[in-house]
């Protein structure tokens, strides 16, 4: 393996830096100006103009009917589970190949994840595997889908657009509709990514985004819910803000509410970052193109490219090694030589909290787990 050539190339495209991190934010716009405005006006907390502006700007950017800010992507997903009616002892179909937040959010409601395989072409939930599992394992009773072996209700399905690459979401949406399962998209990694021209997160009842520090744009920490159903979005706004009935001085609440609202200072950062999002994505796609061309001439390593019908933000670039030994060797060589890389997440079904959860063969999932390595992906501007 030509490790030196690979390591030199990565140092090179990142301007010769001695250490190349995996994914770090860039602040080249109005960040400081907007943050100062928050401090100067004292609006640093849960209300302020940047909260409203960020929601409006993001709704416009994505094409959502409504966007609702949250404190993190994880609690955006938790809220999404509650909004579609996931309850204790329900089951939720998702990927084992995801970041822990997807499964944590499912677990907060008392529901159980069931792990379905991913596609080779997308690294995300496979509609073929989903259909196959549902045909064998589920039945519809009283208009609801049930797992024949556990007797539990299958309430929702949460595909995740891995590393920003859209899954075959239309087919998944059709299957969910056929089986009366609510569709929630974990679009935490896929801001700006589109499937057939439509922004990810808009195909189901709810989509969740993340603005954590390592994501394509950041608010420090933060998340967002996207809706095409405006009424559901309005309910989300109410529930994420302690379910307070609007009144000038009275404190009355009509639901168990949550303090999940993003503070104004974080939203200020988000507004400034969003002004440059398209520039960042263009830059990331250029980096991906450079990697793609480079790895064409490297034996035994394949660069993962955007699937058909999709526009990917290339949040995190990924290469596929030929087996687990090659993966481990690649991780060792790059991390020893100033290039930060990491394997894909430990599979969810291998973690102690989820090892008893039902799953299908996970054939492609395991194939990827043994081979994928993420390589530096920060914006290079």
Ligand X SMILES: *Cc1c(COP(=O)(O)O)cnc(C)c1O
Beta strands in 246-316 (DSSP E): 302-303, 310-311
How far apart CA 318 and CA 162 sit, in angstroms, is 10
Min dist CB 189 to ligand X, Å, is 5
Nearest to 113 by CA among 123, 105, 128, 103: 103
* Nearest distance in Å: CB 207, ligand X: 11
Q: By C-beta, is 6 or 209 nearer to ligand X? A: 209
Nearest-angstrom CA–CA distance, 124 and 356: 22
Closer residue to ligand X (CB): 137 or 266: 266
Least distance between ligand X and beta carbon 244 (Å): 24
From residue 207, alpha-carbon distances to 48, 172, 182, 200, 204 in Å are: 24, 14, 12, 8, 7
Sort 345 into a burial class: Cβ within 10 Å, 0-12 / 13-18 / 19+. middle
Q: Which is nearer to ligand X, 126 or 147 (CB)?
A: 126
67 vs 145, beta carbon nearer ligand X: 67
* Minimum gap (Å) between residue 348 Cβ and ligand X: 11
Q: Which residue has the tokens 């940047």?
A: 50
359 φ, ψ (degrees, to nearest 5): -155, 165
Contact between residue 22 and residue 376 where contact means Cβ atoms under 8 Å apart: yes
* In the complex, minimum distance from the CB of residue 170 to ligand X, in angstroms, rounded to a whole number: 20
List residues near ligand X by CB under 6 A.
72-74, 98-99, 101-102, 160, 186, 188-189, 210, 212, 223
Report which of 181, 238, 198 is spatially closest to residue 61, judged by C-alpha positions: 198
The one-character DSSP state at 46 is S
Nearest distance, CB of residue 210 and ligand X, angstroms: 3
Nearer to ligand X, 73 or 295 (CB): 73
Question: Residue of minimal CB distance from ligand X?
Answer: 73
For β-strands 66-70 and 317-320, DSSP reports them as: unpaired
CB-based contact 165:374 (threshold 8 Å): no
Find the shortest distance in angstroms from Cβ 372 to ligand X: 14
104 or 144: whose CB is closer to ligand X? 104
Measured from the CB atom, is 6 or 206 closer to ligand X?
206
């Amino acid at each position: 393996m030509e490790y030196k050539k690979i390591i030199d190339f990565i140092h090179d495209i990142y301007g010769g830096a001695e250490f190349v991190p995996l994914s770090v934010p860039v602040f080249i716009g109005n960040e400081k100006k907007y943050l100062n405005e928050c401090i100067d006006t004292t609006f640093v907390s849960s209300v302020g103009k940047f909260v409203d502006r960020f929601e409006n700007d993001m709704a416009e950017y994505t094409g959502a009917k409504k966007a609702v800010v949250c404190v993190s992507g994880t609690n955006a997903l938790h809220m999404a589970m509650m909004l579609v009616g996931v309850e204790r002892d329900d089951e939720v179909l998702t990927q084992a190949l995801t970041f822990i937040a997807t499964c944590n959010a499912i677990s907060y409601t008392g529901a159980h994840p069931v792990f379905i395989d991913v596609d080779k072409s997308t690294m995300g939930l496979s509609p073929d595997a989903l259909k196959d599992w549902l045909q064998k394992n589920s039945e519809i009773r009283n208009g609801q889908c049930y797992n024949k072996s556990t007797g539990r209700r299958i309430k929702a399905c949460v595909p995740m657009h891995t590393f920003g690459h859209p899954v075959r979401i239309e087919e998944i949406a059709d299957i969910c509709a056929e089986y009366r399962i609510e569709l929630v998209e974990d679009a935490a990694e896929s801001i700006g990514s589109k499937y057939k021209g439509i922004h990810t997160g808009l195909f189901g009842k709810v989509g969740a985004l993340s603005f954590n520090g390592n994501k394509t744009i950041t608010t420090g920490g933060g998340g967002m819910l996207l809706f095409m159903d405006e009424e559901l979005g309005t309910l989300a706004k109410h529930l994420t803000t302690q379910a307070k009935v609007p009144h000038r001085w009275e404190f009355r609440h009509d639901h168990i509410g949550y303090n999940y609202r993003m503070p104004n200072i974080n939203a200020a950062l988000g507004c400034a970052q969003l002004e440059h999002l398209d520039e960042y994505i263009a830059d990331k796609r250029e980096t991906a193109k450079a990697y793609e061309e480079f790895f064409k001439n490297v034996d035994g390593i394949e660069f993962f490219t955007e699937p058909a019908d999709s526009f990917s933000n290339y949040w995190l670039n990924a290469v596929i090694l030929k087996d687990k030994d090659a993966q481990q060797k690649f991780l060792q060589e790059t991390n020893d030589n100033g290039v930060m890389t990491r394997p894909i997440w430990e599979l969810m079904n291998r973690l102690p909290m989820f090892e008893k959860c039902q799953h299908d063969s996970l054939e492609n999932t395991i194939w990827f787990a043994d081979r994928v390595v993420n390589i530096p992906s920060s914006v290079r501007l």
